Amino acid sequence: MATSVPWKGVYPALLTPFTATDELDLPLFVKNLHAQLSAGVHGMIIAGSLGEVSTLTAPEKLTLLETAIETVEGRVPVIMNVAESVTREAIRRVQEAEAAGADGLMLLPPMRYYADSRETVAYFSAIAKETSLPIMIYNNPVDYKIMTTVAMFEELAALANIQAVKESTRDLTNIARMRNAFGDRFRILGGVDTLALEALLVGADGWVAGLVDAFPQETVAIYELAKAGKVEEALSIYRWFMPLLELDIQPKLVQYIKLAAAATGIGSEYVRAPRLTLEGEERTRITGIIEAALAVRPVLQPA
């Protein structure tokens, strides 16, 4: 197990591959993990939104976590996502993840209930007090309707193991707002693929990425070039990548990114119901975007 979580670099929000019979496809999961490691990612996030967390059973989540830990062998931190409706259930999932060897946690706000600021802070605080693991708060008011504000982070700052934020507000000024309020107290990782380079250039420490599931090398290259100050080189890859990155901000991002991962040979398009695989005009359109990008895929220079 990695000894700490630096909360910087590229952290894939990993897909959960399924078989045609709706079982976990662990060999394919391991294949994707190896592709991520080979590309040089800096951490792994298990069972997030892209991982279809809402359709996974608790045993399945632990199986994915244990498989990732065994495969990664301490080379990068393995982060377990926790998304629950009930505080005590969230604490139970956290404690199971810690016992299984997770290096850290990503916490979503309460599911299904539109908690106010006091309730959201209480939810995050109650969980943080029941674990020694480092925590990244997932701040995504666009999809989850709950904004973790600077004022709320002022309260959460009292908890040392709340260390980072996945910044998915789609408001880049929030990065400056957090830096002005807290300096380096919280690490900030951009969480929106279509704003990833911009987030890095205005001060984000890393990128929780989606299309990395299909294109790990290009994702890591953008991060490394941006941090090295090679903005024009990063922009060249980013502009090529943008039609694909836009798949990450759609309601069917899971199906779209799984189709991309299947096209690059490190995933499959099987999803778990109620999601269904793509068909008809929609499938043709998304396949066209992927194939057009693959036809002019950039040749990356060695780091």
Q: Which residues are catalytic?
A: 138, 166
What one-character-per-residue DSSP string does 28-39 give? HHHHHHHHHHHH
| Structural tokens at position 10 | 């590229």
112 contact partners, CB below 8 Å, separation of at least 6: 85
Cα 240 to Cα 256: distance, rounded to the nearest angstrom: 17
Which residue from 196, 248, 194, 165 is spatially nearest to 10, judged by alpha carbons?
A: 196
Q: What strand order describes the sheet that includes 206-209?
A: 9-12, 206-209, 187-190, 162-167, 135-139, 104-107, 78-82, 44-46
Cα 75 to Cα 42: distance, rounded to the nearest angstrom: 9
In DSSP terms, 189 is beta-bridged to: 166, 206
Cα 148 to Cα 232: distance, rounded to the nearest angstrom: 33
| Structural tokens at position 94 | 């956290």
What 3-state DSSP class applies to 163?
Answer: strand
**216-227 vs 26-39: helix crossing angle, rounded to 10:** 30
Distances (CA, A) of 208 to 14, 95, 219, 238, 294: 10, 23, 10, 15, 23
